[in-house]
């Protein structure tokens, strides 16, 4: 359990710094938006490039990947079905769906995979699915949602190539597949910029918590409950069921269930703010799911570990 608490404590401290900066008015809403913009356009693409360039692409073909991907599909389909009935607009629906399905596989998934599951590489399928499939699709839909004019099919298909996060992920995968040795004159500054991504996202999130409405007060309880319930209950349950049907062993079942129970990732908030869609929902889903994830993971480990 040490990895669970250490990961959450690290996040809590950095978010706390953001709350303090917002409270002291050292960073206002304009500064918070600047932090989020830098994280979206510069730091996150650099981080994704460095993360994926060293990834084991063979993990794509594991049973763990199928179980995790299947759980994401189940969660997305359920969420989209509810949003369709409620006739939610596209942009809000995309952010709501990300809030209910996009795991914090980086700054929480890595330590939990290492300390709780015993192998940091187990988080790779989560990262690859989200960075190469879920996120590019969501960003493309958001680009369509905020476009002032109707986009042609060709422009929609080309849209991901104009998104810095998708480009950074794609370049990292190309390096991983080809085994190209990136020269240090390029790799070092990219790695340095990437190291800024998570702190910038967490500080910006902390500032938003302090300057905005208190969590739970700016978002309808039903919307927040749907996102968090799907994220922490439905997604891990689906991963366990699918993994069982695939015949995964006990260790693999534990891994896919725990990783699917990770809370909503901080970069969902950055994306929501970048496109100005469902910002408070993303913020509150991250907060509530991060707090509630601790007992969920503990129960999963106690039952399956």
% residues pLDDT > 70 (the chain)? 86
> 103: helix, coil or strand?
strand
What is the largest distance, in Å, between two alpha-carbon atoms of the chain?
A: 54
The mean-pLDDT minimum among 161-170, 179-188, 242-251, 262-271 falls in 161-170
Which pLDDT band, with edges at 50, 70 and 90, does 258 fall under?
A: very high
Domains: count for the chain: 1
Rounded to whole angstroms, the Cα distance separating 290 from 288 reads 5
Which pLDDT band, with edges at 50, 70 and 90, does 157 fall under?
A: low
**Burial class of 20 by CB neighbour count within 10 A (0 to 12, 13 to 18, 19+):** middle
User: 68: which residues sit within 8 A by CB, 6+ positions away?
Assistant: 125, 126, 129, 239, 256, 259, 260
Cβ neighbour number for residue 278 with a 10 Å cutoff = 29
Residue 116 zone, left/alpha/beta (φ > 0; ψ -120 to 50; rest): alpha
Can you read off the two tokens belonging to residue 143? 């680009």
Cα distances from 22 to residues 49, 208, 212, 231, in angstroms, run 31, 8, 10, 28
The CATH number that applies at residue 53 is 1.20.1530.20
Rounded to whole angstroms, the Cα distance separating 292 from 72 reads 19
Cα distances from 221 to residues 65, 160, 253, 282, 296, in angstroms, run 32, 33, 32, 13, 20
Rounded to whole angstroms, the Cα distance separating 53 from 98 reads 24
What tens digit of pLDDT does each residue of 86-132 get? 999 999 999 999 999 999 876 677 657 766 776 656 777 887 788 77
pTM to 2 decimal places:
0.76
Average pLDDT, whole number, for the chain? 84
Q: Which residue has the higher pLDDT, 153 or 255?
A: 255
Give the range of the structural domain holding residue 57, as residue numbers without chain letter: 2-304
Among all chains, which residue has been given the structure tokens 């918070």? 32
Can you read off the two tokens belonging to residue 271? 């994306």
Rounded to whole angstroms, the Cα distance separating 72 from 87 reads 22
């Amino acid at each position: 359990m040490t990895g669970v608490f250490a990961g959450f404590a690290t996040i809590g401290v950095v978010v706390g710094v953001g709350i303090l900066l917002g409270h002291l008015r050292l960073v206002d809403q304009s500064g918070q938006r600047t932090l989020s913009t830098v994280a979206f356009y510069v730091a996150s693409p650099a981080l994704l490039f460095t993360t994926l360039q060293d990834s084991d692409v063979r993990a794509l073909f594991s049973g763990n990947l199928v179980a995790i991907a299947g759980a994401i599909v189940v969660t997305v389909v359920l969420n989209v079905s509810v949003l369709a009935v409620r006739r939610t607009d596209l942009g809000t629906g995309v952010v709501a769906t990300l809030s209910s399905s996009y795991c914090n596989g980086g700054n929480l998934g890595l330590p939990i995979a290492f300390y709780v599951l015993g192998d940091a590489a187990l988080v790779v399928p989560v990262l690859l699915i989200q960075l190469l499939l879920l996120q590019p699709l969501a960003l493309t839909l958001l680009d369509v949602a905020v476009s002032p004019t109707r986009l042609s099919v060709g422009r929609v298909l080309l849209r991901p190539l104009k998104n810095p996060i998708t480009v950074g992920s794609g370049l990292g995968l190309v390096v991983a597949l080809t085994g190209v040795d990136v020269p240090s004159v390029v790799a070092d500054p990219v790695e340095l910029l990437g190291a800024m991504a998570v702190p910038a996202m967490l500080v910006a999130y902390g500032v938003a918590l302090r300057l905005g409405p208190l969590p739970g007060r700016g978002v309808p309880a039903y919307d927040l409950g749907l996102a968090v319930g799907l994220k922490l209950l439905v997604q891990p349950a689906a991963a366990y069921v699918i993994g069982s049907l695939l015949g995964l062993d006990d260790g693999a079942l534990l891994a896919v269930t725990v990783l699917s129970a990770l809370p909503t990732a901080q970069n969902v908030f950055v994306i929501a703010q970048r496109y100005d869609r469902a910002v408070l929902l993303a913020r509150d889903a991250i907060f509530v799911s991060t707090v509630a994830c601790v007992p969920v993971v503990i129960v999963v480990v106690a039952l399956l570990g």
